[in-house]
């Protein structure tokens, strides 16, 4: 009886995996998340052309391609983290601070990684680094300078900020479900936001596009097994016009021709028209 109570108590410990989250459920959630990731990426890509989102088709092939891409990226990230782990500090407060600063710096650098770094981007990154150093390092070192060690100063700073974080949405989630649910929810949200921006960046940086051979005014946005989604392209200005067609692919197929016309001048908004 005592062992059963201890097992139930350990299963409810913050940070432990919930009892309902078995391996099968975790794999199902992972598959659903990859589908959502593929759809959000396509939504960012379609949104850059002004194409309605209901025309997106997320098939198994696209999900597999995305899974392979994400898996390759995770393998590279794992290799980098494995090298960093050699010098990883043992104190949990310092670990959390390093992770938080790294994530914030990555979010600041993300637009530059997508669209290329400019002089303005470098200045923004420099200012962000200075602000992070000031708030995350200089502030606790100065304010809690009477503490004997650097870890104690960081720990005092985290203890002072915890009540404020606890009142946020993710802070309440962390208190209710534990650090694991907090990390999964926040990480999943950030990944979806980054996927949407990456899809839009693909549309804005891409240089080669396919066109319908029988009517080269139409630039192909996506080719699906059963249909082609294309938008009207003005070759004189290099801009996308607020018109689109959805052409079904019949037994004879559709002939396409590749042209280098990018980067395109993508419109910010405007109605789109669907034609058979």
Tens-place pLDDT, residues 162-181: 777 777 776 777 777 777 77
- What is the tens place of the pLDDT at every residue in 129-159? 888 888 888 888 888 888 888 888 888 888 8
Helix axes 60-84, 23-49, angle to 10 degrees: 110
Tokens of 94: 């310092």
Quick one: which of 48, 10, 104 has its CA closest to 221?
48
Mean pLDDT of 17-27: 62
Phi, psi at 265, each rounded to 5°: -95, 95
Please, what is the average pLDDT of the chain?
A: 78
What pLDDT, on the 0 to 100 scale, is given for residue 258?
Answer: 92
130 HSE (CA, 13 A, CB side): 6
Listed ranges 7-21, 120-134, 151-165, 222-236; the one with the highest mean pLDDT? 222-236
Sign of CA pseudo-dihedral 209, 213, 219, 221 = negative
- What is the DSSP-derived secondary structure letter of residue 218? E
Could you tell me the CA-to-CA distances from 16 to 5, 13, 21, 84, 178 in Å, in that order? 16, 6, 10, 25, 7
Could you tell me the CA-to-CA distances from 170 to 32, 103, 183, 185, 264 in Å, in that order? 22, 16, 9, 8, 38
Map out the domains of the chain as residue ranges.
Answer: 20-88+167-205, 206-260
As a whole number of angstroms, the distance between CA 272 and CA 250 comes to 24
115 pLDDT exceeds 70?
A: yes
Residue 223, beta-bridge partner list? 228
């Amino acid at each position: 009886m005592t062992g059963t109570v201890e097992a139930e108590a350990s299963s409810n410990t913050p940070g432990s995996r919930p009892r309902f989250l078995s391996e099968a459920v975790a794999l199902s959630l992972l598959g659903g998340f990859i589908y959502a990731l593929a759809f959000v990426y396509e939504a960012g890509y379609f949104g850059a052309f002004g194409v309605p989102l209901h025309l997106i088709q997320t098939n198994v092939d696209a999900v597999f391609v995305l899974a392979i891409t994400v898996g390759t990226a995770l393998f590279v990230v794992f290799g980098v983290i494995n090298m960093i782990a050699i010098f990883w500090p043992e104190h949990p407060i310092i670990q959390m601070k390093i992770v938080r600063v790294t994530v914030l710096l990555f979010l600041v650098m993300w637009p530059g990684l997508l669209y290329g770094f400019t002089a303005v981007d470098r200045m923004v990154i420099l200012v962000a680094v200075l602000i992070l150093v000031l708030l995350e390092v200089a502030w606790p070192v100065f304010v809690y300078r009477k503490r004997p060690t650097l870890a104690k100063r960081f720990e005092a700073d985290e203890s002072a900020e915890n009540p404020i974080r606890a009142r946020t949405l993710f802070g309440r989630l962390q208190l209710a479900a534990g650090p694991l649910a907090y990390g999964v929810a926040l990480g999943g949200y950030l990944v979806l936001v980054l996927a949407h921006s990456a899809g839009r960046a693909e549309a804005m940086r891409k240089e080669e596009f396919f066109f319908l051979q029988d009517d080269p005014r139409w630039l192909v946005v996506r080719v699906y097994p059963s249909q082609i989604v294309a938008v009207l392209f003005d070759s004189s200005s290099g801009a996308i016009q607020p018109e689109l067609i959805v052409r079904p692919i019949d037994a004879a197929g559709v002939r396409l021709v590749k042209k280098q016309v990018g980067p395109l001048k993508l419109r910010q908004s405007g109605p789109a028209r669907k034609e058979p």
